[in-house]
């Protein structure tokens, strides 16, 4: 493997001087980056196309989320070199953000409840619309 | 230094107590993250904390958007631009997205050339990244002024719909723009350090006694990619939703 733990060495370097940090570098062939770069462009264009062509409903949200996660995954895995790091580090960094999903769920419950109480106290949305009630 | 980490934990009697113990423990040269330089591990942990900050912003945005009874302004129309007599939806944001992704690509090249110790190419790509970042901030400034002065969007209300739109928008994009601006400043600093050979000659930085190495380019890169990463989420859930 050309990109195994930074052993890919550009020719012409003197091997006489031992570089202490040499093993720790992330050295990979440029081709990988160009492919991912291109892919990120395509995915961004695709998510913009979702808006441009007015895709609506679950298809819209599904596509947006899929493109979002693909882009995020590619950036973290390749551009930030996560796929070449040791698992101890990968798990330490990538598992804690999953907690955010709990917060999302809590936030959604809270929002639904607020929406419900607003409907009760300020009247149904259909009637309230022309009056544009002030929240709070 | 001859004592290994394992030995110092197995001989409990040798451990220091009190305040010297705290210092000794924290500096005992035990590494959880092998094969990564210290600065890189710390940058990752900082980015993890930043993830939670932006996560909180986006979750509170979700909460206010879900709970409002007034319709949310349609971002597709709010951020449309009239070019050549035609209104193109979200075009400015799309261009900003491409600018930021391009800057991520140039950053990754800078990191790569850095590890090859190619000083000139590293500087070129770092400066290119900084310029793309500055372009992004400039476009954001244009977007903000258009929204504030022409559309009358305020943090407490706007003519298009739900009042919470302004607060969410200014908070989220403002914080992200701040990150980009700080990133541009640090890119320029790193470019200067690379350019004058601080890393080749292992000169320490102005706030540390550690020797300069090309790893700081990768650490800088991590921050920059994170800024791009956050934009991916903002673009999806704020602008496209």
Question: Quick one: pLDDT at residue A97?
Answer: 93
Mutation choice for B interface testing from A51, A58, A116 by most B CBs within 10 A: A51
Inform me whether the pLDDT recorded for B169 exceeds 80: yes
Query: pTM for this structure?
Result: 0.82
The end-to-end CA distance of chain B, in Å, is: 56
What tens digit of pLDDT does each residue of A107-132 get? 999 999 999 998 888 865 555 455 55
Nearest CA in chain B to A112: B67
Domain formed by B35-240, architecture: Up-down Bundle (1.20)
Q: What is the pLDDT of residue A133?
A: 53
Q: How does pLDDT run across B45-58, given as a tens digit for each residue?
A: 999 999 999 999 99
Output the pLDDT for position A134.
Answer: 56
Residue B87 host element (H or E): strand B86-88
Nearest-angstrom CA–CA distance, A119 and B1: 68
- CATH 1.20.120.80 domain span(s) along chain B: 35-240
Distance CA B117, CA B46 (A): 27
Pick B238 or B85 by higher pLDDT: B238
Residue B139 has pLDDT above 60, yes or no: yes
> What is the arithmetic mean of pLDDT over B145-159?
89
Taking the CA atoms of B166, B81, B106 and B129 in sequence, report the sign of the dihedral they define: negative
A26 contacts on B by Cβ (under 8 Å): 111, 115, 218
Cα(B165)–Cα(B73) distance, rounded to whole angstroms? 7
DSSP string for A57-101: HHHHHHHHHHHHHHHHHHIIIIIT-GGGS-HHHHHHHHSGGGHHH
Select the residue of B105, B229, B239 nearest A33 (Cβ to Cβ). Answer: B105
How many Cα neighbours within 13 Å face the side chain of A102? 6
3-class SS of residue B138: helix
Residue A13 has what pLDDT? 42
- Among the partner-chain residues A10, A21, A129, the one whose CB lies closest to the CB of B116 is A10
What would the two tokens of residue A33 be? 């980056």
Residue-level pLDDT at A3: 43
pLDDT at A132: 54
**For position B13, what pLDDT does the model report?**
58
Residue of A nearest to B66 (CA): A111
Q: Compute the mean pLDDT over every residue in chain B, rounded to the nearest whole number.
A: 87
Tokens 């022309």: give the residue: A130
DSSP A23: G
At A11-57, the pLDDT tens digits run 434 444 444 444 446 788 888 999 999 999 999 999 999 888 888 88
Residue A27, chain B, CB below 8 Å: the answer is yes
Q: At what angle do helices B215-234 and B91-115 cross, to 10 degrees?
A: 160
Token output for B92: 């400015």
Query: Cβ distance B103 to B126 under 8 Å?
Result: no
Residues of chain B contacting A15 with CB distance shorter than 8 Å: none
3-state secondary structure of B117: coil
pLDDT number for residue B4: 44
Chain A residues with CB inside 8 Å of B34's CB?
86, 88
Decide if B112 and A30 are in contact by the 8 Å CB cutoff. Answer: yes
> Rounded to whole angstroms, how far apart are CA atoms A84 and A72?
16
Structure tokens at B34: 């092998």
pLDDT per residue as tens digits for the range B85-130: 788 888 889 999 999 999 999 999 999 999 888 899 999 999 999 9
Q: What are phi and psi of A108, to 5 degrees?
A: -65, -40
Contact A53, B218 (CB under 8 A): no
Distances (CA, A) of B217 to A34, B15, B39: 19, 37, 11
Q: Point out which residues pair with B204 in neighbouring strands.
A: B211
User: ipTM strictly over 0.85?
Assistant: no
> Per DSSP, what are the bridge partners of residue B154?
B157
Query: Which of A68-72, A94-98, B88-92, B168-172 bottoms out in mean pLDDT, i.e. has the lowest?
Result: B88-92
- Residue B43: pLDDT band with limits 50, 70, 90: very high
């Amino acid at each position: 493997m050309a990109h195994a733990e930074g052993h890919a060495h550009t020719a012409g370097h003197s091997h006489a001087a031992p570089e202490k940090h040499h093993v720790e570098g992330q050295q990979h062939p440029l081709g990988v980056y160009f492919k991912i770069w291109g892919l990120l462009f395509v995915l961004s264009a695709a998510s913009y196309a979702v808006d441009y062509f007015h895709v609506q409903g679950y298809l819209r949200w599904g596509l947006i989320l899929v493109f979002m996660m693909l882009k995020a995954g590619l950036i973290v895995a390749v551009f930030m070199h996560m796929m070449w790091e040791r698992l101890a580090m990968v798990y330490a960094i990538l598992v804690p953000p999953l907690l955010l999903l709990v917060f999302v769920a809590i936030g959604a419950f809270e929002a639904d409840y607020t929406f419900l109480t607003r409907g009760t106290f300020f009247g149904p949305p259909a009637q309230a619309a022309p009056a544009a009630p002030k929240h709070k | 230094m001859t004592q290994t980490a394992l030995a110092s934990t197995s001989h409990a009697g040798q451990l220091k107590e009190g305040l010297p113990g705290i210092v000794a423990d924290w500096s005992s040269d035990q590494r959880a993250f092998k094969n990564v330089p210290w600065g890189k591990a710390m940058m990752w942990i900082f980015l993890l904390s930043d993830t939670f900050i932006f996560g909180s912003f986006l979750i509170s945005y979700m909460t206010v958007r879900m709970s409002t009874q007034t319709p949310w302004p349609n971002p597709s129309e709010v951020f449309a631009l009239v070019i050549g007599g035609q209104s193109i939806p979200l075009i400015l944001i799309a261009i900003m997205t491409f600018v930021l992704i391009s800057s991520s690509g140039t950053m990754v090249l800078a990191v790569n050339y850095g590890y090859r110790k190619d000083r000139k190419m590293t500087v070129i790509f770092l400066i290119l990244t900084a310029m793309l970042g500055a372009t992004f901030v400039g476009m954001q400034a244009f977007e903000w002024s258009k929204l504030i002065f022409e559309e009358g969007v305020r943090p407490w209300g706007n003519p298009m719909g739900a009042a919470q739109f302004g607060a969410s928008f200014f908070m989220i994009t403002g914080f992200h723009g701040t990150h980009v601006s700080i990133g541009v400043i640090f890119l320029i600093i790193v470019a200067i350090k690379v350019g004058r050979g601080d890393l080749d000659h292992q000169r320490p930085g102005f706030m540390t006694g550690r020797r300069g190495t090309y790893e700081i380019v990768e650490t800088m890169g991590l921050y920059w990619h994170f800024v791009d990463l956050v934009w991916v989420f903002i673009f999806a859930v704020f602008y496209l939703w």
